[in-house]
Structure 1
Amino acid sequence: VPPAAGEAITSNNQRSFVLQVIRDKIRVLQVSGRPSWDERFLRQHLKENPNVDLISFFILRTPNDAPGASENELSLIPFPVDELFTTKLKSFDVVIFQNFDYRPYGMSQYLTNIRDAVREGLGFVMIGGEQSFAGGGYLGTAIDEILPVRLESGEFSETQVLPELTAAGRRHPVTDLTRGTGSNERLWQELPSWRSLNLTAGVGPGSTALVVDGRVRGGDGQPAPLVAVADVERGRAMALPSDSRWRWRFAMHRDGGAAERAYHRFWSNALHWLVRDPEHSRVRVLPDKRRFEVNELIDVTITVRGRDYQPVPSAHVRATLDQAGVGTRGVDDLSTGETGAARQRYQGLAAGAYRVSAAAQAGGESLGSGTGVFIVEPRSLELDRAAPRPDLLAAMAKIAGGRALRAESGAWSNLVLNDPDVVEIDRRRNIELWDNAWALVLGIMLLAAEWALRRRSGYL
């Protein structure tokens, strides 16, 4: 607030505050090889999510089909391969390949674009089906390099699959379907089973299996992965070698809708993890509160998690303190304890806005970074003594030529209040706009013009 002329105290004319900026929309490209229940329910979930901007393609005919008509007579639009995977690719946050075989569309050269985009920050999901994983010809391609699972000439089978959380899956944000409101592992056990599986050779290097079927063995002899994730440089990838998650969505009336809620929560978690939502960051910087006073002790907790979201003890953390408009105020090297947390204390900071940036590493491997912000405010006597002061109010009233009265004194009934000025209107005049000669002339001219136009056009 601009200071007024002669204003004695201007320190309370402004106040800093922390504003949390969230992502407006997650832009998703969904490409499905054929219509299915799994495709339908996923597309419905994405369309109904107000935080998602969806571009969806599902293939109803391939270039090998013979429709018996020319291209310009068909209502189906051609699949815009070149536009999607060159000029428009970087406009998406997440790309989903769902039971999609790229080979009929001459896409080999575009798979490299997708791989490079994932390494630069794109999220990529491959969902199972007959035309997915090895069945879609992805073995040995650029997509194979970023998938969390290793491909082989594995088969797609329609068989009962029992999802089971791994140790990493019990802690990972993608598979947390209860968000602390109940037993997550029990919920997974009670959800409907899946009925299809793309058999793979297990998880790849640096990847993590979150959900497996312990009864089925992959090519590496380990339990077959059903949900696997991986960090790919700046981007992330997810593999879902089954196309029957729709069974959760289909059981909307079972157990009070628990399976349907689990379906929506799973995909919501997956999208936020793929776009690196700060809530799912492996390195988090958490000040004890958002506002502190000058000379108040400021404690900041830094938590560090590994790829499997397990606490990382003895991780090296470098914490940098920056003040807005000033620059770096300090750099501290910390080490996490057994719980994967480190604490840093600041004292004697001047009033202003501050940011703590933390970068963690362990064993020579970067574990990521995170930031936290807080405000240091000058001490305010005005706020320290916010209780009413009758003596001060009486002095102010006397200077202004008034009186100070207490609410319980009963003196309010004796106050003489001036009635407001009242203006009464007791005259009214109505003017009919059409009740004049000019209105009659205008009406005749319009009718004559209409008659002339109709006669010239041959209607009379």
Structure 2
Amino acid sequence: MTGEIIFDPLLGRPLVWVAAGLAVLALVLSLWRRQRGAWLRGLAAAVLVLALSGPSLQEEERQALSDIVIAVVDESASQRIATRPAQTEEALAHLQRLVAARENTELRVVTVGDGADDSGTLLMTALTEAIAEEPMGRIAGVVLLSDGRLHDLERAPALPAPTHLLLTGEEEDWDRRLVVRNAPDFAILGEQISLTLRLEDQGAAPGPGGNIPLSISIDGGPPLEFEVPAGEDIELPVTLPHGGMNVLQFSTPVVEGELTGRNNAAVVQINGVRDRLRVLLVSGEPHAGERTWRNLLKADAAVDLVHFTILRPPEKQDGVPVDELSLIAFPTRELFLEKIDEFDLIVFDRYSRRGILPSDYFENIAQYVRYGGAVLVAAGPEYAGAASIYRSPLGFVLPGEPTARLVENAFAPYLTKQGLRHPVTAALDGANETVDGAPEWGRWFRQVEVEPTPGAQVVMRGEGEEPLLMLERVGEGRVALLASDQAWLWDRGYEGGGPQQEMLRRLAHWLMKEPELEEESLWAEPSGQTMRIVRRTMDEETPPVTVTGPDGSESVVTLEEVSPGRFEALWQAPEMGLYRLTDGEEETVIALGPAAPREFEETIASGAVLEPVLAGTGGAVVPVSAGLPTLRDVREGRPAAGRGWIGITPRGAYRATDITVTPLLPAWAFLLLAAGLILAAWIREGRR
């Protein structure tokens, strides 16, 4: 219990001060006039002024509050290497014993893991939150148990007490790190790009030992081995092997004595894109649907279109001199012999054999397909006749043989079972919407009857369930046959039209081997440490996917069908890094975050970053490897660390449980005392 005198004026402090001033003035005047009872009257005035100020005795019953020491324990990835976990555990246990041995002192322990989305060690953020939860007047000290590698120093709070760092790690620690200094997000296929790599040795690394092995793997394939020097930037020329996402993994072997191998690898994901797609469109004659193909291909800025329409076939003889014709001669030799390999796609639109292209040229086009080219035939009545290009050597690679029958009835195209699963036609607008069993698409009025080849995929049918759109792979190339020339009716919106533009765009891109339109494919879409595994297949079922993690562990994931031909599953990865996925037929690789997370950019323990923050509180950096310190009391503002010890500042905080206020004297006592003094002064003056 403690007590103190307080004042509660009856008339307000200004009036009390005025009364005191008047009393002093009267006393001075009395003394100047040498009145014998002046000092007695002064005492009486003082008693009255004291009574007006309301003096009271305030007594408090206090409950002492304990001092708080906050310990922030770093449990991030860089703290889980080498001897650091054991050092952290030993230091924390030692600190707990020291605090437990002190009277009226508590220890608050806060742990910090890896930050979300590879944000690193958020040590200061955790400390700020811990301080905010405790009364400032009770915090006696802060102790950080860490390797000193934090990534949020700018969030350091105002520290209310001495703060110290118990630094884990050893003086002889060293580590090797592989760094990718620059890498583009995308690159043009066929063009060389340059990546800059660097191998860095950090800490007490051994002396130079010559070149260091470096492995480079693309999409998880067999690695290529190189020898490179350490500590130098290495320019690496790379040409992407395919379109879509290319995953390049660089790694160097782990050397004995290194802290960790997690930063001995780096992953770069580069999206391969085509610079320009060169398309040759050959229209056998002018017709209503010719402009549909031209508009579709010209609308794509990435397509270079070369278009020829046969306006004057060789058999036409009208006597007009050749030098007076304004038509351009069809450069058949240049297009189909000399430069045919420069085209990504050749489209024959209602083209028939009319003596313009010799059989040798058609044989060359067939070879172009077998070696990786693409041909699309949009067939009209000519495909059913004797002059059909199917009757040429090109027919050996086409997916449908004409029966010579031409159907000219109204029909609504619809997707087959294969068409509902094939990426060219799957999920086309209106594909699954039917009216009385028929698709809600506009009708066509002409179709060539064909017999599909054994390897053809019929994805769309027309009149009488006859094949309408057929796709086939031939050798390394691809071919497609649209057995009608009336797709333009959809473009004009006849009877509501249909998905003509999207269907033909997908068809052209499938022929040109765009990765997103592969009918058999496996890929993963990352989101943080979660990946969406997607398998597209023409089969009714798909086997489970085996996921191999960065540490070699395997997990089996079962996929569920979400739409015809598309199977998916969400899988939470245990850590960031490079993952390999396979179902026995298809395989892919994906990088979740960087292969070497931010935690492993700098792994050598150091207190240099925190030293300025600690110095402002009188604290210090104490290496755990040099021995654990004792705990002492220090006054506020004094140095709080020395050889073998760290200090905290006792706060002496308390909580008042009861307050009692008692007047020093009752009012009548003040009045009686003042009256007695005045009477004494009067008697003394009367004697004079």
| Alignment-derived partner of residue 454 in structure 2 | 205
Question: 1:60: Cα distance to partner?
Answer: 0.7
Question: 1:34: Cα distance to partner?
Answer: 0.8
On the 8 A contact 1:287/1:374 being kept in 2, the answer is no
On the 8 A contact 1:176/1:184 being kept in 2, the answer is no
Q: What SS does structure 2 have at the residue aligned with 1:310?
A: coil
* Structure-2 separation of matches of 1:100 and 1:355: 47
| Alignment-derived partner of residue 375 in structure 2 | 124
Q: 2:507 aligns with which of 241, 266, 270?
A: 270
Question: Structure 1 pair 337/176, CA: closer, same or farther in 2 (3 Å)?
Answer: closer
Deviations 1:189-247 (A, max 9, x none): 222111111122x211011211113x53xxxxxx3111111121221111111111111
Question: Structure 1 pair 281/89, CA: closer, same or farther in 2 (3 Å)?
Answer: same
Question: 1:336: Cα distance to partner?
Answer: 8.6
| Alignment-derived partner of residue 310 in structure 1 | 539
Letter in 2 for 1:172: H
Question: 1:83: Cα distance to partner?
Answer: 1.2
* Structure-2 separation of matches of 1:269 and 1:370: 24
Deviations 1:304-335 (A, max 9, x none): 62xxx2345469x9x89899xxxxx9899x99
| Alignment-derived partner of residue 307 in structure 2 | 56
Q: 2:598 aligns with which of 370, 380, 395?
A: 380
Deviations 1:114-161 (A, max 9, x none): 111111221211112132254533344322211111233x13343323
Q: What SS does structure 1 have at the residue aligned with 2:452?
A: coil
On the 8 A contact 2:384/2:405 being kept in 1, the answer is no
| Alignment-derived partner of residue 212 in structure 2 | none
On the 8 A contact 1:176/1:266 being kept in 2, the answer is no
Q: What SS does structure 2 have at the residue aligned with 1:96?
A: strand
* Structure-2 separation of matches of 1:337 and 1:357: 12
Deviations 1:366-416 (A, max 9, x none): xxx553432543343599xxxxxxx969729969xxxxxxxxxxxxxxxxx
Q: What does 1:368-447 align with in structure 2 at a 5 Å threshold? A: 369=586, 371-375=588-592, 376-381=594-599, 395=613
Question: 1:59: Cα distance to partner?
Answer: 0.9
On the 8 A contact 2:560/2:568 being kept in 1, the answer is no
Q: 1:104 aligns with which of 338, 355, 362?
A: 355
Letter in 1 for 2:445: R
Question: 1:359: Cα distance to partner?
Answer: 6.7
* Structure-2 separation of matches of 1:66 and 1:359: 62
Letter in 1 for 2:493: A
Question: Structure 1 pair 313/125, CA: closer, same or farther in 2 (3 Å)?
Answer: same
* Structure-2 separation of matches of 1:132 and 1:232: 20
Question: 1:277: Cα distance to partner?
Answer: 1.5
> Larger radius of gyration, structure 1 or 2?
2
On the 8 A contact 1:93/1:122 being kept in 2, the answer is yes
Residues 1:92 and 2:343 are matched in the alignment: yes
* Structure-2 separation of matches of 1:209 and 1:21: 30
Q: What SS does structure 2 have at the residue aligned with 1:160?
A: coil
Q: What does 1:22-421 align with in structure 2 at a 5 Å threshold? A: 22-152=273-403, 154-176=404-426, 178=428, 184-186=432-434, 189-200=439-450, 202-213=451-462, 215-216=463-464, 223-251=465-493, 259=497, 262-287=499-524, 289=526, 301=533, 303=535, 305=537, 309-313=538-542, 360=585, 369=586, 371-375=588-592, 376-381=594-599, 395=613
On the 8 A contact 2:372/2:476 being kept in 1, the answer is yes
Question: 1:99: Cα distance to partner?
Answer: 0.9
Q: Which has the higher contact order (CA 8 A, sep 6+)?
A: 2
Question: Structure 1 pair 289/100, CA: closer, same or farther in 2 (3 Å)?
Answer: same
Q: What SS does structure 2 have at the residue aligned with 1:37?
A: coil
* Structure-2 separation of matches of 1:119 and 1:359: 27
Question: 1:78: Cα distance to partner?
Answer: 1.2
* Structure-1 separation of matches of 2:615 and 2:303: 58
Question: 1:287: Cα distance to partner?
Answer: 3.5
Deviations 1:156-199 (A, max 9, x none): 343323212211112222223537xx654549822211111112
Letter in 1 for 2:481: A
Question: Structure 1 pair 195/302, CA: closer, same or farther in 2 (3 Å)?
Answer: closer
Question: 1:346: Cα distance to partner?
Answer: 12
Q: What SS does structure 1 have at the residue aligned with 2:337?
A: helix
Question: 1:16: Cα distance to partner?
Answer: 5.3
* Structure-2 separation of matches of 1:246 and 1:90: 29
* Structure-2 separation of matches of 1:22 and 1:36: 34
Q: What SS does structure 2 have at the residue aligned with 1:20?
A: strand
| Alignment-derived partner of residue 415 in structure 1 | none
Letter in 2 for 1:204: T
| Alignment-derived partner of residue 364 in structure 1 | none
* Structure-1 separation of matches of 2:266 and 2:577: 10
Deviations 1:30-62 (A, max 9, x none): 111111111111111111122322111111111
On the 8 A contact 1:283/1:370 being kept in 2, the answer is no
Letter in 2 for 1:33: G
On the 8 A contact 1:95/1:123 being kept in 2, the answer is yes
Question: Structure 1 pair 282/137, CA: closer, same or farther in 2 (3 Å)?
Answer: closer
% identical aligned pairs: 27
* Structure-2 separation of matches of 1:24 and 1:322: 34
On the 8 A contact 1:25/1:51 being kept in 2, the answer is yes
Question: Structure 1 pair 135/48, CA: closer, same or farther in 2 (3 Å)?
Answer: farther
* Structure-1 separation of matches of 2:547 and 2:338: 38
Question: 1:94: Cα distance to partner?
Answer: 1.1
* Structure-1 separation of matches of 2:336 and 2:553: 43
Question: 1:74: Cα distance to partner?
Answer: 1.2
On the 8 A contact 1:170/1:185 being kept in 2, the answer is no
* Structure-2 separation of matches of 1:302 and 1:331: 21
Question: Structure 1 pair 372/25, CA: closer, same or farther in 2 (3 Å)?
Answer: farther
Letter in 1 for 2:492: F
Give aligned pairs, total: 349
On the 8 A contact 1:290/1:373 being kept in 2, the answer is no
* Structure-1 separation of matches of 2:581 and 2:391: 43
Q: What SS does structure 1 have at the residue aligned with 2:591?
A: strand
On the 8 A contact 1:119/1:232 being kept in 2, the answer is yes
Decide which structure has greater strand share: 2
Cα RMSD, aligned residues only: 4.5
Letter in 2 for 1:86: L
| Alignment-derived partner of residue 458 in structure 1 | none
On the 8 A contact 2:370/2:475 being kept in 1, the answer is yes
* Structure-1 separation of matches of 2:610 and 2:434: 64
Question: Structure 1 pair 348/167, CA: closer, same or farther in 2 (3 Å)?
Answer: closer
